[in-house]
Each structure stands twice: as C-alpha cells, then as structure tokens.
Amino acid sequence: MSLRSYVVARVLLTIPMILLLLTMVFLIIRVMPGDPADLHFEKRVDPETLAAFKQRLGLDKPLPIQYVDYVAGLLTGNLGSSMQDYSPIGQQIFSAFPATLELAIYSAAFAIIVGVLLGVRASRSYNSIPDHTIRIFGIVSYAIPVFFLGEVLIMIFGIYLGWFPTGLRFSPRMDAPQGLQLGGWRLATGLYTVDSLLEGNLTKFLESVRYLFLPVLALGTVLCGIFIRMTRSNMLETLRLDFVTSARARGLKERAVVYAYALRNAFLPILTMMGLQFAALLAGAVLTETTFSWPGLGRYLVARITFRDYTAIQGTVVFYGVIVALVSLIVDVLYAYLDPRIRF
C-alpha cells in the first residue's frame, strides 16, 4: 500500500470512529439527569412555556429522530446552535480553540523536550545519582494532578514571588495582540505569541509568554514524566545494541553516538507515545484551563456540561475527536519518515 492510499484509508476509518464517539456522547448526555430546557430558565417557569421551549429545541421529538436530525446537520457541516444562548456552536468552538491550541503546543513542546532530554541523560548514567533523581522526578511529575501543581505554582510564582500572573491569557491593561494588519486585511492566528510577533510588538509577545509560562510549566511537567520513563528505558535497550558498540568502536564522539544513532532508533515508541499523549494533553488542558482561568475549549466544555447544552457538548466532543484522529494520522505518517523500513 502506498502512503497515499494509507492516508486515504485512515481518513475513511476516522468517519465511523467519529460516528461511534458521537453516538456514545449523544446517548450518555441524554441518560444523564437534567433538562436543558428547564435549566434555560433562570428562575420561575410555567409548564406551557417549558413545553414550547422544548419544541423549539426539538427536544420533544423521539430520540432516534433527534439523532438523525443532528447527524444530518453534521453532514452538511452544521454543528447546530447552543441550547442556552442559540449562538452557532462552530463559531463558539473556533473562538475558544486557539487558546487551547496555544497551551497544547507549548506544553507538548515542553513535555517532549524536557522529557526526552532528561530521559537520555538518565540512560547515559544508568543506576547513578542523576539517574535516580531523574527517575524519581519522572514518577512524581507523572503522578501529580495538574490542578494541584498549578495551584502550587500560582502560590509560589504568582502570590509569593509575584513574578507571573495567577491566571487569564493576557494582561487586562493591554489590548490583545491583533496580528498583522495590512490595510483592511488582517492576518491573525488567535495564538497570542504568534499574533504579537506578526504585529511586531515585542512587549505584547513577552506579556503573552508571561501569561503562558505557568500553565505551560504545570501541564508540561505533568506530561513530561511519561516521556522521561519511555526515553530512558528505550535508550537503555538501544545503547546495548551492537550498532552502538560499533559506532563507538569507530571512534565517534559519545554525543553523536547517543543523539544521532541511539536516540533516533529509540524514538519510534516515543513517537507513538506522543500521539497517545495528545488525548491526555487535551484532557489535561481542561483542568489546566480551569485552574488558570484560561479561556479555552476545555473550560467551554465544562461550562456547557453544567447546562446540559446537548448540541454544544456533542459539537465539542466531535471536534476533539477529529483533532485526536488527525494527530494520530500525522504520527503514523511520521513513522515512515523516521524508520524507512516501515511500509504501509
């Protein structure tokens, strides 16, 4: 199978996967007690009004009809409207997603870089003090809940030292980065670090980094534990292999042996782990966003669940599903690049 037909097959496989996910979410939220129509009314409501409202949302229809209606909407690219404020779900998701994406990118980068470097370092000094220290750090950081670590970091760096803000995404006293302005045309990614640079405003860039720092440190630290352990054990195995010994025998520098030879060979399982961890990253982002008042998709999802906003919950989960599928596809394609022996 060529790479192209593999990608096509994978994309096609994604469809039943998303559909299955959607069906499960659709049923689970309807089994949960709570009624979006009733919750829509802040205080008093009479039964007739409630019935009329249910009819408007289509909640009076039988479940299978509701399901078909929703899926039909999805196929035409319509994620529906919120059951609480009627705004289009697609628009809401896209207004919140850049914040989550920015947090996810930097946290993943932090976790992978720190995790792999520490893992390699530990494997090079097997069973010595640095190895033990790194291993303990790896176990502790993996075990620690992200919201707890987040609060601790806020207490130390936000309150006690006052170096970093305790929450939010950008300083209330500055305008948010606008991206590149060219006449009436605007190029903006929604990622504040990128937009501030596009705008050419270094102060805003440093400010957005200052706000990113603690959430990224918290989420990145929690995620890096698994990479430390994975890298370390794979490296230990790889470093024992013959090709490493022969590379050393040929007089290559130790750095080159470790990073260029051994790490590349040990990297495949780590890459798999990256793909798998992406879902964990998004889940962790939900908690991190709440701890740091980060206005992202995770916070949105939590808020919508408390309103039993069916369409919003379904839309967000489908969106998450697509993202996770996309990332695992990218990881699979990267395999071929890293290991030429792999054919699809």
Partner 1 sequence: MKNRSAVSNTIASALVVVMIIAGVGGYYLGSQGVAPAATTVTQVAATTLFQTVTITTQMPTVTTVTTKTAVTTVPTVTITTTTGPKLKDTLVMGTTDSVEVNLDPAEAYDFFGWEIIMNTGAGLVDIAPGTPYNAGIKDITPALATDWTASADGKTYTFNLRQGAKFYNGREFTADDVKYSFDRNMGLAIEEGPQVGIGYSDIIDSVEVTGKYQVVFHLKIPFSPFLNLMAAQASYIVNKDIATTAGPVNYVEGDARKSNPNDLGPYVLSSWSRVAGKDNEMRLDANPNYWAKAAGLPMTPHVIIKFYADATALGLAVRSGDVDIAFRQLLASDIESMKTDPKVKVWQGTGAFIQYMLFQEKIPPFDNPKVRQAISAALDRKEMVDTVFLGQAEPLYSIIPKGMMGNTDKFKELDKDTAKAVSLLKEAGYSETNKLKVEMWYESSGHYPQSPDQAAVYKAQLERTGLIEVTLKGADWPSYRQNRNAEIMPVYVYGWYPDYVDPDDYAFLYWAAWIHHNYENPEAVALYDQARAISDPTQRSQLYAQIDDIAVRDCPVAPLYQGSAFAVTSPQVDGLVLDISQNFRIWLLFAKL
Residue 176 CB, nearest approach to partner 1 (Å): 8
Spatial distance between the Cα atoms of 191 and 216, rounded to a whole number of angstroms: 14
**Site stretch for partner 1 (CB under 8 A), options 10-18, 62-70, 107-115, 274-282:** 107-115
Residue 297 CB, nearest approach to partner 1 (Å): 7
- Show the site string, 51-70: x = touches partner 1 by CB under 8 A, - = not: -xx-----------------
Q: Is 314 in the site for partner 1 (CB under 8 A)?
A: no
The residue among 328, 318, 282 whose CA lies nearest residue 7 is 328
Q: Is 243 in the site for partner 1 (CB under 8 A)?
A: no
Spatial distance between the Cα atoms of 334 and 135, rounded to a whole number of angstroms: 28
Q: Is 107 in the site for partner 1 (CB under 8 A)?
A: no
Q: Is 210 in the site for partner 1 (CB under 8 A)?
A: yes
Residue 328 CB, nearest approach to partner 1 (Å): 21
Q: DSSP for 127-157? A: TSHHHHHHHHHHHHHHHS-HHHHHHHHIIII
**Site stretch for partner 1 (CB under 8 A), options 7-15, 28-36, 235-243, 318-326:** 28-36
Spatial distance between the Cα atoms of 310 and 59, rounded to a whole number of angstroms: 10
- Count of residues of this chain found to bind partner 1 when the rule CB under 8 A is applied: 78
- What is the DSSP pairing of strand 185-187 with strand 180-182? antiparallel
Q: Is 183 in the site for partner 1 (CB under 8 A)?
A: no
Binder of partner 1 out of 40, 121, 124, 232 (CB under 8 A) = 40
Q: Is 233 in the site for partner 1 (CB under 8 A)?
A: no
Is residue 189 packed enough to be buried (19+ CB in 10 Å), middle (13-18) or exposed (0-12)? middle
In the chain, the N- to C-terminal Cα span, in Å, equals 5
Residues 223 and 280: beta-carbon distance below 8 Å: yes
Residues 131 and 242: beta-carbon distance below 8 Å: no
- Show the site string, 292-311: x = touches partner 1 by CB under 8 A, - = not: xxxx-x-xx--xx-xxx---
Q: Is 110 in the site for partner 1 (CB under 8 A)?
A: yes
Q: DSSP for 152-220? A: HHIIIIIIIS--S-SS-SS-TTSPPP--EEETTEEE--S-HHHHHHHHT-HHHHHHHHHHHHHHHHHHH
Q: Is 192 in the site for partner 1 (CB under 8 A)?
A: no
Binder of partner 1 out of 18, 70, 82, 226 (CB under 8 A) = 82
User: Hey, is 81 helix, strand or coil?
Assistant: strand
Binder of partner 1 out of 24, 136, 206, 283 (CB under 8 A) = 206
Binder of partner 1 out of 21, 79, 122, 154 (CB under 8 A) = 154
Q: Is 177 in the site for partner 1 (CB under 8 A)?
A: no
Q: Is 38 in the site for partner 1 (CB under 8 A)?
A: yes
Nearer to partner 1 among residue 8 and residue 256 (C-beta) = 256
Q: Is 237 in the site for partner 1 (CB under 8 A)?
A: no
Binder of partner 1 out of 92, 141, 238, 311 (CB under 8 A) = 92
Spatial neighbors of 308 by CB under 8 A, at least 6 apart, are: 29, 32, 34, 35, 36, 39, 83
Tokens at 339, concatenated: 């290991």
Residue 139 CB, nearest approach to partner 1 (Å): 22
Q: Is 264 in the site for partner 1 (CB under 8 A)?
A: yes
Binder of partner 1 out of 4, 127, 173, 251 (CB under 8 A) = 173
